[in-house]
Amino acid sequence: MTLKVYINGTLYNKEDAKVSVYDHGFLYGDGVFEGMRSYAGSVFRMKEHLDRLWDSAERIQLEIPMTKEEMSDAVNATLAANEIEDGYIRLVISRGEGTLGLDPNKCPTPNIVIITDFITLYPEEFYQNGLEIVTAKTIRNHPGALDPRIKSLNYLNNILAKIEGLAAVCVETLMLNHQGEVAECTGDNIFIVRDGKLLTPPVEAGVLEGITRGAVMELAAGDGIQVMESRMTLDDVYSAAEVFLTGSAAEIVPVIKVDGNQIGDGIPGLITRRIADLYTQLRVS
């Protein structure tokens, strides 16, 4: 069966799902998006994703021409049309078709695209044995230049870091902020374990407020694991007992080496495993 893609209220076959080359999402990366997961036919934390999408849109003065309820219905209808139970959803709102200039006011109608697809997971081995990552020379965008809370279509900052990581044969890459502090990875948030406590950089360190990050913080607190937002250095990461990454697509991935430094015993730690188990239970509850 050909996958169907939602564009502005209509479902198109994947090969016919197209938007204009004059769309400012294409020309300038002017737009916002979300990446979500569905488990057993239901979207994980859809409300939180839609809230973040609307918040991102508001921060770039892009008015989404439908309600959150309509969007939620459209996402579910697209999943159903594709008979996808366990999948990945990419929700894109671009500024829309305009002229060859930056002016967003020349783009009267945003384009709304919902792609639902089967998820390509990291190999199981990464979850069992942990991941090796490196730190990029490319720093995360200065928060004063592009607010990290905006999940924008312009991912060049992250892509440049990703290219560095790939050159070191790493599927994820750590990024520092303009102050040299640990921010996040190119598409995942980072947590470390120190003295039995979970620490993750605050949004002010220049990170996206990940939905998975939020879920992990709730799960930890509910399980009696102390969790704190805290600015951290690379040395804090190198000397951590455990390190793991979180993201909608990746879920919870243990990290066992950072820039060649072994983390803890070089195997996924107990708290990481506990959080991963709790997350597995949560996503289908």
3 state SS of 84? coil
Cα–Cα distance for residue pair 227/119, rounded to 1 Å: 30
Binders of ligand PMP among residues 17 to 56 (CB under 6 A) are: 35
Of 161 and 271, the one with the shorter C-beta distance to ligand PMP is 161
- Site stretch for ligand PMP (CB under 6 A), options 4-12, 13-21, 210-218, 270-278: 210-218
Q: Residue 103: which residues within 8 A CB-CB, separation 6 or more? A: none
Of 107 and 113, the one with the shorter C-beta distance to ligand PMP is 113
Q: 47, 68, 137, 151: which one is catalytic?
A: 151
Say whether 162 is catalytic: no
CA distances from 271 to 75, 194, 226, 266 (A): 34, 10, 11, 14
| Smallest distance from ligand PMP to CB 279, Å | 11
Question: Among residues 71, 107, 211, 253, which is the contact residue for ligand PMP, using CB under 6 A?
Answer: 211
Beta-sheet strands, E only, within the chain: 4-7, 10-13, 31-39, 42-43, 87-94, 111-118, 131-135, 173-176, 182-185, 189-194, 197-200, 227-229, 242-247, 251-258, 261-262
How many residues form the binding site for ligand PMP (CB under 6 A)?
14
Of 62 and 161, the one with the shorter C-beta distance to ligand PMP is 161
Question: Among residues 94, 141, 152, 158, which is the contact residue for ligand PMP, using CB under 6 A?
Answer: 158
3 state SS of 138? coil
Asked if 213 is part of the footprint of ligand PMP (rule: CB under 6 A), the reply reads: yes
Question: Among residues 130, 184, 201, 269, which is the contact residue for ligand PMP, using CB under 6 A?
Answer: 184
Of 185 and 225, the one with the shorter C-beta distance to ligand PMP is 185
- Site stretch for ligand PMP (CB under 6 A), options 19-27, 85-93, 102-110, 244-252: 244-252
Cα–Cα distance for residue pair 263/254, rounded to 1 Å: 10
Question: Among residues 187, 201, 268, 269, which is the contact residue for ligand PMP, using CB under 6 A?
Answer: 187
Longest dimension (CA), the chain: 57
Asked if 256 is part of the footprint of ligand PMP (rule: CB under 6 A), the reply reads: no
DSSP 258: E
- Site stretch for ligand PMP (CB under 6 A), options 63-71, 79-87, 205-213, 254-262: 205-213
- Site stretch for ligand PMP (CB under 6 A), options 8-16, 204-212, 252-260, 267-275: 204-212
Question: Among residues 188, 217, 225, 243, which is the contact residue for ligand PMP, using CB under 6 A?
Answer: 188
Angle at 106 between CA 103 and CA 108, to 5 degrees: 130
Asked if 208 is part of the footprint of ligand PMP (rule: CB under 6 A), the reply reads: yes
Asked if 210 is part of the footprint of ligand PMP (rule: CB under 6 A), the reply reads: yes
Cα–Cα distance for residue pair 217/172, rounded to 1 Å: 21
State which amino acid sits at residue 118.
F
Asked if residue 147 lies in contact with residue 56, where contact means CB atoms within 8 angstroms, the answer is: no
Question: Two tokens at 35?
Answer: 């990446």
Binding site for ligand PMP (CB under 6 A): 35, 158, 184, 187-189, 208, 210-213, 246-248
Give the catalytic positions in this structure.
151
